[in-house]
Amino acid sequence: MTNNNKKGFVLWFTGFSAAGKTTIADKVHELLKHNGNRLERLDVEIVRKNLTQDLGFSKEDRDENIRRIGFVANLLSRNDIGVIASFISPYRAQREMLRENVTNFIEIFVDAPIEVCESRDPKGMYKKARAGELKNFTGVDDPYEPPENPDIHLLSSEHSPDDLAKVVLSFLRTNDYID
């Protein structure tokens, strides 16, 4: 298999639930895979099922969830594998810890107003949280601390996922992560 990665990297998509993180990350993954890049995709569904099933959604559990994911992402990145991770990761301190400990960490803020995210809400999570059925839901009864200086800032309510995926690939090429 061809590897067009010049070095490993971790694309860390953060933002509210339904901001478009997974949609954009999937498009980036598809484009990079098509071009022969070595990649791993870390997504909440896969990780919660296989790596962090023992954790809940308290602040402490969320911190541990992100720490574990960061550990795995770092192992892959330092072995020249591109990692695409999409997690709300609501706390700034979590993401700063990742930046300090993960090789070639690239923070991508997928930014959409909470009202837009609620209108997109494919699983009805915001509705359940507003009704009190879900506790510690980011943006409802738990805070989201937006990145102060993300490496990439994507306005997902203003641009298409395809266009935003191209922004990410352009960043990777410009910063010599891929051919």
- Give the integer Cα–Cα distance in Å for 77 and 132: 39
Positive or negative: CA dihedral 169, 172, 176, 179: negative
For residue 77, indicate whether it is catalytic.
no
C-alpha count within 13 angstroms, C-beta hemisphere, residue 37: 28
Catalytic residue among 89, 119, 157, 160: 89
Q: Is residue 157 helix, strand or coil? A: coil
- Give the integer Cα–Cα distance in Å for 62 and 93: 12
Give the length of the chain. Answer: 179
How many distinct helices (H) and strands (E) make up the chain? 7, 5
| Catalytic sites, residue numbers | 89
